[in-house]
Amino acid sequence: MPHPFDVAHNDAFAKLGAKVPGPHWSAFDVSMDQARAGNATRLVTTIWNFHAWEPAFTEGAINEDVTDGTLWYRTKQPPLHDAPNWTAHWNRVQLALKMHLPIIGVLKDVRTNRCSMENLFIIDNGSRRYQIDDGSLWLRLRPRGTVGCYVCFVDMNTIAREFPPDSLRAHHCEFERKVDRSRRLSSATRTQRLLDARRLPERIDVIASVFVRNPDVVAEVLFQAEGKCQRCAKPAPFKRASDGTAYLEVHHRVPLAVGGEDTVANAIALCPNCHRELHYGEFTP
């Protein structure tokens, strides 16, 4: 029998209807800019038989839940530096999930860098998935045929309990999603919502104590800033890879920790440099 990993990386993606990925691990059927604009119809991605961060190749990348037999693939959040392909892959998967696009996985051998068209997967975009532990995204796989590689066994319920949804990371991710939803509203709608919003934020206990900030405040302050730092008046230093918007950070003039209000009047949009200077430099707000 021929070895199943008999298709070149670019050829496999082309056969599955995606753009030629080159060195990248995933690709839409259109450019990334077109995908952000909502014109993509699918994402094709690599499903490795072993993960690259396990150089000994002793632990398989696909996991079977011991409770119900479902299959899961762990996509680990990239490091902060020197991982452009990894970062691009992470951003593409996040965008495809956000836009509820079909995601097709093709099994790829970490040793030969060749793919198997006999071992394809649909990544479930509608049922459970977890973003937990060290920032990993656990994606549920539905194989079209056989799995085609060694499978590890995990207990997804145990993993979820160890990193519960009220963890600090999950709280931050949920807040970012709320801000994104708020930014899609008109300024008039946010202004009306802000009239009825509480001025002093609710406080909950997670791993650490955090304020439950109003996402409408963040979205409105960023809208009014129009892509420029409201302290140094310079354009935002870069654009977000996720959606192409100007990257600015919202700072409270009077800190929430000392009783400051979570309001537009008490907030300002800053470039990261000005934000850090206000917190750690010699100047005061």
195 vs 124: which has the higher pLDDT? 195
Give the Cα-Cα-Cα angle 147, 52, 168 (nearest 5 degrees): 95
pLDDT in tens, 66-78: 888 889 998 877 7
The domain boundary residue, chosen from 103, 138, 162: 162
CB atoms within 10 A of CB 243: 12
Report yes or no on 157 lying in a domain: yes
How many independent structural domains does the chain possess?
2
27 membership: H or E segment, kind and range: strand 26-28
Q: Are residues 126 and 230 in the same domain?
A: no
In contact, 150 and 133? CB cutoff 8 Å: no
Strands 136-143 and 114-123: antiparallel
Task: Identify the DSSP state of 66.
Answer: T
Q: Of the residues 162, 190, 222, which one is the last residue of a structural domain?
A: 162
Q: Does 149 share its domain with 36?
A: yes
pLDDT at 235: 95
Last residue of a domain, one of 142, 162, 182: 162
158 and 203 in a common domain: no
In this structure, the answer to whether residues 152 and 242 fall within a common structural domain is no
User: Would you tell me how many other CB atoms lie within 10 Å of the CB of residue 233?
Assistant: 8
Closest CA to 76 of 56, 97, 95, 53: 53
In this structure, are 133 and 178 located in the same domain?
no
pLDDT value of residue 284: 38
Asked if residue 1 is part of any domain, the answer here is no
Please state, rounded to an integer, the average pLDDT across all residues of the chain: 81
Residues 155, 207, single domain; the answer is: no
pLDDT for 152-173, tens place per residue?
A: 888 877 766 555 554 555 666 6
120 and 251 fall within a common domain = no
Which structural domain, as residue segments, surrounds residue 185? 168-280
Q: How far is the C-alpha of 136 from the C-alpha of 138, rounded, in Å?
A: 6
Is a pLDDT exceeding 60 seen at residue 132?
A: no
- Give the model's confidence band at 14: pLDDT under 50 very low, under 70 low, under 90 confident, else very high: very high
Unique residue bearing structure tokens 């990248």: 24
Together in a domain, 147 and 176: no
Q: Which amino acid is at 227?
A: G
